[in-house]
Chain A
C-alpha cells in the first residue's frame, strides 16, 4: 500500500509571507494526488487534485497554487499568505479502488 509523507508537521507564518508545503508518495506510481484543507472543527475542502505530472485541477479560487513537478511529488504554494489560509492541510493519494490514503497533515497558523 502507499504511504503519504508531508512536511512540516506544523508551521507558523506571518501574513504576506510565502508558503511551500511538500507531499511525497511512496509505494505506488502515477497516483492521483490531492490537497485538502480542514478548518478547525470542520470537514474537508478539496483544494487541488492532479492526475499526472504537470496536471493540476483547482477546485476553489484562492491565493494558493499547486504543482506536480514529479510523479510522486505534490507541492502546495502561496506567494502571500492571508489570515484565512490558516488550517490543517492534508495531502492524499488515490489507490487502486480510488480509495484515498492520507498523509499526517500540516497545521498552518498565519499570524
Chain B
C-alpha cells in the first residue's frame, strides 16, 4: 500500500536553513502537502505542490519534488524559534479519491 516516510527529528541553529525530507511510494500521487503542527494544536496546511511541478516557493518556504526518486523536501530559510513544530508530509492517495496519507512527522527543534 501507499506509504510516506520521514525522519523523526531535526535540530537546526536559529538563522540557518532547515531541510525536512520525505519519501513516498505512490507514483500516481497528484498532490503532495506539507503541514505544520504546533504543540496541542491541529495541523496547519503550509503548502502543497502538484505532481507536475518540480519546485514551489512561498516566502521562506521552498518545496522541491523529485518525482523520479519519489522524494519531497521542505526548506525553511532563516529558521526562527517560531518554526519549532512537527512537520508532516502527505500525499493524496490516488487509489481512493478521498484519502490523504500522512507521514509520521518530523519534529523540528531550534537551538540558539
Chain A residues within 8 Å of B, Cβ to Cβ: 4, 6, 32, 42-44, 46, 49, 51, 57, 90, 92, 94, 97-105, 107
Contacts and interface: CB of A to CB of B under 8 A. Distances in A.
A99 B98 contact: no
Interface in B1-55: 30-31, 33, 35, 40-45, 48, 50
B93 to A, nearest CB: 10
A90 B43 contact: yes
**A92, A100, A101 pick with most chain B CB within 10 angstroms:** A100
Report the contact-size class of chain B (Cβ under 8 Å from the partner): 20 to 34
Contacts of A98: 30-31, 92, 98, 100
Contacts of A92: 43
**B31, B44, B102 pick with most chain A CB within 10 angstroms:** B102
A62 to B, nearest CB: 17
A105 B44 CA distance: 12
A74 to B, nearest CB: 13
**A49, A57, A98, A104 pick with most chain B CB within 10 angstroms:** A98
Contacts of A46: 99, 102
30 contacts: A6-B42, A32-B98, A42-B104, A43-B88, A43-B103, A43-B104, A43-B105, A44-B43, A46-B99, A46-B102, A49-B98, A49-B99, A90-B42, A97-B31, A97-B50, A98-B31, A98-B92, A98-B98, A98-B100, A99-B45, A100-B45, A100-B90, A100-B100, A102-B35, A102-B42, A102-B43, A102-B44, A103-B42, A105-B41, A105-B42
